[in-house]
Structure 1
Amino acid sequence: MTRTSTRIGSGAGFAGDRIEPAVDLVRRGGLDDLVLECLAERTIALGHLRRLADPATGYDPRLGQRLTALLPDLLAGGVRLLTNMGAANPPAAGHIVREHLDGLGSVAPVAVVTGDDVLDVVDPAAPAAEDGVPLGEHGELVSANAYLGADAIAPALDTGAAVVVTGRVADPSLFLAPLAQRLGWDLDRPDRAAAGTLVGHLLECAGQLTGGYAADPGHLDVPRLAELGFPFADVAADGSAHYGKLDGTGGRLDRHTVREQLLYEVTDPTGYRTPDVVLDLRGVSVDHDGADRVRVSGATGRARPDELKVSVGYRAGHRVEAGISYVGPNAAARARLAADVVAERVRGLAVAPRIEVRGGDTDARLRVAALHRDPGLLDVLAHEVEALYTNGPAGGGGVRTRLDEVVGVLSTLVPRAAVVPRVTVLEAGRAAA
């Protein structure tokens, strides 16, 4: 049913975000919808690596933890949940949600949005947006995910689902889709798409709007940062929105934090491209509206692009980090000697490590790091750091080594028509397309 206003909250701004503020927001926030935005470019590429190793994985590993904490209160309050925690495997994530709902005795449907995986569509010979070099020349492509828009999510909402799970969609689109449905907006109208996209852009990073990632003691003080509350927005049918946080929570929400988030990751304020609209921020006004309350309006936009951005992950080699500590008198000198020893021992190795000493005269640590496509060479480098225990300066200890595969991330464009979203509904006990 179309409304004159709706309230939407942000319960996560990245994969590692805290869970407690989202629970508080659901319990006390009077929300209609809660969005968990947990997906970044590298996050989904790493999810694809996990899925390659185990086809049953690839979704956000904290999905179960967040569902356990949030679902009982979401169901009790009739709050709808939208999340991109499906990452590289939305169908598997959807079944996890279905299992949690079944365990709570709920027959509410789950909708899963797919179609963003376009690895079979992307041409390895296509130039990367970052450097113009063909994608395939950077390394083996392991993932390619198009940024779907609100139009891909809208059919999932029309199913009456209590939970909507997606893979790669544009962050603001997770917010625009439910706003459009609740308020009866036509997604083909740039003014409405712009208004909802602005709401999504401001809310997508959760605590960043309420002082997280902004605190700088003496310059920008954020009260009770340890109790940071997450934001919500009351959005009117005309597209204006009032932003706030729950009374009694820490943080600050004011013109400063809102304007800081307004320009976050925006390279062109006159034409911020999303799958839904080309957003123009020049006419946006940010007005104080009370304690921890701000009113934002004035977004305009142009018709959505004919092409969709694609985030491409590729195997970029391996990275090693190794370190050893020295403490006591003359520690820094011993650490510098250790650095010289390692540099000498790996001089003939076909790898150029970064070797540095951190700390002070009585507490110093040697750190050695390198990136290379051959993990065997990096293992030799790590071994030389470990060997400093008895083959280096006095008093070395606390050796730590870590060798990981590195996933590089690039971007390119594909025609919108080449991307075909699909919605699957998981009913209680069964799945139906």
Structure 2
Amino acid sequence: MKPPVIRIGAGAGYSGDRIEPAVELVEKARLDYLVFECLAERTIAMSQAARRNDPDAGYDPHLYDRMRAVLPAAARNGVRIVTNMGAANPRAAAQLVARIAREAGLPGLRIAAVLGDDVLESVLAADPPLIDRPGRVSDLGDSIVSANAYLGAEPIAQALAGGAAIVITGRVGDPALFLGPLIHAFQWRADDWALLGRATVIGHLLECAGQLTGGYFADPGIKDVSGLARLGFPFAEVSADGSAVLGKVAGSGGKLSVATCKEQLLYEILDPAAYLQPDVTADFTDVHFEEIGPDRVAVSGGGGRRRPAMLKVSIGYGDGFIGEGQISYAGPGAAARGRLALEIVRERLALTGVETQELSLSLIGIDAVDRRGADPAAEAGAREVRARVAGRTRSLRAAKRIGAEVETLYTNGPFGGGGVTRSVREVTAVASALLPRELARPSITFGEA
């Protein structure tokens, strides 16, 4: 018998998100499913690099702590978990979760790993054009680290139908993490575009977790939000027709309102009438919100059309190094001394032959974010600034020179500089291409704790 309502919660909106709100959800929200969405664009490329160095690595670095915190309450309350924390190695992630379950005294949990998003060989063979810049995949040369297709919800639903209490994926569409449990629970057809489109609305609203409940929303005096230090994450009570009521645990911090829902609905959307996902081309143009109580919002509407024939692929590649140095100046004339420091470093990099593909020189507090141009009055009145130099280079040696030149300002620059920091990091960049969906072949492996 089909359940009348499914309760599905958002346990994370990115890899380093807070863990306590997820524990609160599994303990108090009477959930059926908890979803952890933890995989950003570049994350999987960096995870693939980690896996090359260690075949047992490549999954989310917070997997152990997150699962150790939520598994006991989830098992006690019958909450099934879906997550993309498998990153570049879902199989190893599933094995770790099985060990965590045994350590927690929870033997017998059925755990599924969804594989098949790694399409590097197919992408290299097909050499498709890039969709976010001129050129083809082959133009990236030997710098390519990874290529992962955005899989859909069907393998997640199949894993749940196979009895999995925990489903771990690699790259999937973010809303697919929420669609999978709903397709399984309501037995929706894979070509019911209207239902899948409405469910994509729900998944998109929930995928960033705390952003729906007041995170990334507050603007004191304009959009006030209380209790952000203990922000509660959202859940949805979803009906079989794809409508839902959104809520959060009573007494938790934050705010769930029509305004927070509208902001999240539009987040990262290019065309609201054609939001391309691996499961459906979703249409958000007739979504309706209604506040029906404190921190409770009803959402209805939305629709969909046939899913795209192609899957988006994220291609990770090495793009050189970034060297950075910072130094602070305070007191009268702080901004003028900061400007002088930046010009000294610019000239020094040229004199010593440091080649940069990109170079940024800015005063934090003046023009590091606001790039509309210098404001003489603001600079004259600045009591403290932090000069920042960052450059992208082809070599590690050149990147190190940038921070070194900032450090020499201690004794070779304006007076009163202090608090120098310097760093170098390798750049992992992302390009995108499209691949026929038949070249990505999802599979599922099952195991038990």
Normalised by the shorter chain, which TM-score bucket?
over 0.9
- 1:408 corresponds in structure 2 to 429
Q: How many residues align?
A: 428
Letter of the 1:27 partner, please give it. Answer: E
Cα pair 1:333 1:361 within 8 Å, conserved: no
1:330 shift after superposition: 4.2
Q: 1:329 to 1:269 in 2, by over 3 A?
A: closer
Q: d(CA) in 1 for partners of 2:444 and 2:155?
A: 8
Q: 1:353 to 1:279 in 2, by over 3 A?
A: closer
Q: How does 1:232-251 map to 2 (within 5 A)?
A: 232-251=235-254
Q: d(CA) in 1 for partners of 2:278 and 2:7?
A: 23
Q: Secondary structure at the match of 1:87?
A: coil
- 2:409 corresponds in structure 1 to 388
- 1:363 corresponds in structure 2 to 384
After TM superposition, the score normalised by the length of structure 1 is 0.95
Letter of the 2:291 partner, please give it. Answer: H
Q: d(CA) in 2 for partners of 1:323 and 1:41?
A: 27
Letter of the 2:210 partner, please give it. Answer: G
1:309 shift after superposition: 0.9
2:446 to 417, 421, 425: 425
Q: d(CA) in 1 for partners of 2:127 and 2:69?
A: 45
Q: How does 1:296-375 map to 2 (within 5 A)?
A: 296-348=299-351, 349=353, 350-351=355-356, 353-359=359-365, 362-375=383-396
Does 1:199 find its partner at 2:202?
Answer: yes
Letter of the 1:182 partner, please give it. Answer: A
1:335 shift after superposition: 3.0
- 2:419 corresponds in structure 1 to 398
Q: How does 1:34-433 map to 2 (within 5 A)?
A: 34-106=34-106, 107-123=108-124, 125-138=127-140, 140-348=143-351, 349=353, 350-351=355-356, 353-359=359-365, 362-428=383-449
1:229 shift after superposition: 0.8
Cα pair 1:180 1:196 within 8 Å, conserved: no
Q: How does 1:8-23 map to 2 (within 5 A)?
A: 8-23=8-23
Sequence identity (%)? 51
1:328 shift after superposition: 4.5
Q: Secondary structure at the match of 2:242?
A: coil
Q: Secondary structure at the match of 2:122?
A: coil
Cα pair 1:314 1:409 within 8 Å, conserved: yes
Cα pair 2:179 2:200 within 8 Å, conserved: yes
For structure 1, which segment, 410-419 or 374-383, has the greater mean C-alpha deviation from structure 2 after superposition?
374-383
Cα pair 2:94 2:112 within 8 Å, conserved: yes
Q: 1:274 to 1:391 in 2, by over 3 A?
A: same
1:284 shift after superposition: 1.9
Q: d(CA) in 2 for partners of 1:58 and 1:250?
A: 34
Q: Secondary structure at the match of 1:16?
A: coil
Cα pair 2:114 2:168 within 8 Å, conserved: yes
Letter of the 1:47 partner, please give it. Answer: S
Give ranges in structure 1 of 5+ residues lacking alignment.
429-433
CA displacement 1:207-231 (0-9 Å, x = unmatched)? 1111111111122111222221111
After TM superposition, the score normalised by the length of structure 2 is 0.91
Q: d(CA) in 2 for partners of 1:180 and 1:251?
A: 30
1:357 shift after superposition: 3.1
Q: d(CA) in 1 for partners of 2:113 and 2:165?
A: 11
CA displacement 1:146-177 (0-9 Å, x = unmatched)? 11101121221122111110000101111111
Cα pair 2:323 2:401 within 8 Å, conserved: no
Q: Secondary structure at the match of 2:415?
A: coil
